[in-house]
Chain A
Amino acid sequence: MQDVYRTSNSLTKNTMHYCPGCAHGIIHKLVAESIDELGIREKTIGVAPVGCAVLAYNYFNIDCVVAAHGRAPAMATGIKRVHPDRIVFTYQGDGDLASIGAAEIVHAAMRGEKITVIFVNNAIYGMTGGQMAPTTLVGQKTTTSPYGRQVEHCGSPIRIAEMLSTIPGAYSVSRVTVTTPANLMKAKKTIKRAFQNQIDGKGLNIVEVLSTCPTNWGRTPYESMRWVDENMVPYYPLGDFKVPEEAK
């Protein structure tokens, strides 16, 4: 009998706690498939963030640690320096990476740490109940921007991929999303390449994934995917911001 579908070896059988329509689950799957296909499950170490993905260690069937809020790149640095022959990745939300952990990601990129960073940007603090993030769009209502984010009051959203692509130490920087089958295929290819680069001894490799938070956005799963396409993508354009020819 021919396999039509098989769950990834790099995922456990645990039921994910993510809300219906949340893209965290999809992104986990893309990461796990990449690890499987590259044959690195037994040498990969994952760093879970503080955020909705704090429980990622329950879903990835690989060695994992849970970092303090925002410090995943620092923790990954410690791990990679001890085990340069292992594949180390962080999985971080936008509050985690773009706010409290802004210094750690910038300096990990500056050092050219040979790690892979999966940066899940859903424009909100999901886990704590939908507060404003540095990535929250102008005018977007959250529980701490009830009148909508106002530029005069708290500035414009930060574009992490663009910013990191200016850092010489960053090896590959891309932004993808998972809102349509075509986008999903592209995201998978990009994530897999970000791991392959690390296998090739290159770093830092970051993939920003525009994601959803139907629960705190107050939208259905379908509406949420469309909201990414219609509101996030125009501000956060998709594509490769920095990918050397040799890695393409």
Chain B
Amino acid sequence: MSERKLFKGNEAVAEAAVRAGCRYFFGYPITPQNEIPEYMSRRLPEVGGCFLQAESEVAAINMVYGAASAGARVMTSSSSPGISLKQEGISYIAGSLLSPLIVNMVRGGPGLGDIQPAQSDYFQATKGGGHGDYRLIVFAPASIQEMVDLIYISFETGEKYRMPVMILADGVLGQMMESVEFPAMKEPKDPKSSAYGVTGAQGRPARVVKAFDLDPELMYNLNEKLADTWKKAEESEVRVEEYLMDDAEFALVAYGTSSRICRSVVDKARSEGVKLGLIRPITVWPFPKKAIGKAAGKVRGFLTVEMSLGQMVEDVRLAVDGKKPVYLHAVPGGLIPKRDEVLAQVKSIIQGKGV
């Protein structure tokens, strides 16, 4: 049954999570994501769940850690400075093989930065962010519908690999309104049925959830297990969209909000006879190395367009592996790339006039 509704991005995030079976939310206010906790504070009691405003992001992520340890589907959301505070907890959660959902509506940084949309938390999201070797499955939606659909599958994906999942979006996606179709309500799983959660050792041996072992051999084994999991996720979970790449002579690479602008750059370029295409990573971890590597055999070069000083560009360069030049269009600080400026850079590169 389809129900199409006009929804604000942040509220759609919350509703999608509820429909995905999430019944617990712990968070702390920060712009531009406040509509997520606000919505959850109304919605979760309606479905027998629990919303709690924590005293800080540090406490919030550790409440998430507790609820996930207890076998529940649980989420938190924040924006850049708050996500920085959550890094220690995320490291523990990853090391404990738990799979909560973490939403980052990225804003301009560094420091307190501003409250405008940005993509400058890419390194933090995809390279670990906190201490130790760990990764998150990181979805980078480019529309509200896509955000809803990814959240809907995020718990199952996370639980399959026993990895935390992050939605890496920004203030544009959080604040804008689009028409969305929500998937059906999933029955939440009973936390007590968890195969590894702490539920009380009733009629079974006691369980321990931890990201700790004094014995380095055992810690080594945990790390090997993590590496193994990543390999599997890299094989099966990569999502990428290619737009007009079949005959493209030059490619843009962008995710999320900047990819929306890049689409219009491609359309404009095509209308002027420039054979431009777009590769849009939907998962930024695992990163679509193969799609980019393959394109490197066809196109003359790449231009990565990012709302940061250039972070994803490093992954693009690794995937291209020196076969073709990779250029950068960087718009940091909370500003948004402009179609005509990106196109001008593309033309200048193609005409050999420099970057």
A interface residues, Cβ below 8 angstroms from B? 41-45, 47-48, 54-55, 57, 60-68, 71, 74-83, 86, 103-104, 106-107, 111
Contact = CB atoms under 8 A, between A and B. Distances in A.
A82 B24 contact: yes
Contact of A79 (B56, B66, B206): B66
20 contacts: A42-B203, A64-B198, A64-B207, A65-B66, A65-B208, A66-B208, A66-B211, A66-B212, A74-B60, A74-B66, A78-B26, A78-B68, A78-B69, A78-B74, A81-B52, A81-B63, A82-B50, A103-B55, A104-B55, A104-B62
Interface residues of B, number: 42
Given A41-B201, A42-B203, A86-B200, A74 B24 contact: no
A63 B212 contact: no
A75 B65 contact: yes
Interface of B: 24, 26, 50, 52, 54-56, 58-60, 62-72, 74, 88-89, 92, 96, 191-192, 198-203, 206-212, 214
A230 B26 CA distance: 44
At the interface, is chain B mostly helix, strand, loop or mixed? mixed
A205 to B, nearest CB: 18
B198 A45 contact: yes
B24 A78 contact: yes
Given A54-B212, A57-B210, A66-B212, A81 B67 contact: yes
A194 to B, nearest CB: 18
Nearest to B91: A68
Contact of A78 (B66, B88, B208): B66
Given A78-B63, A83-B191, A104-B62, 13 more contacts: A61-B201, A63-B206, A63-B207, A71-B62, A74-B62, A77-B63, A78-B67, A78-B68, A79-B66, A79-B69, A80-B66, A83-B192, A106-B55
Contacts of A71: 58-59, 62, 65, 89
A103 B60 CA distance: 12
Given A74-B54, A79-B69, A42 B202 contact: yes
A65 to B, nearest CB: 4
A167 B198 CA distance: 30
Contacts of A111: 52
Contacts of B89: 68, 71
Nearest to A66: B210
Given A77-B52, A107-B59, A65 B69 contact: yes
Contacts of B71: 82
A86 B69 CA distance: 14
Q: Which 7 A-B pairs have the closest CB atoms?
A: A78-B66, A74-B62, A75-B66, A78-B67, A66-B210, A71-B62, A63-B198
Contacts of A57: 206, 208, 210
A69 to B, nearest CB: 9
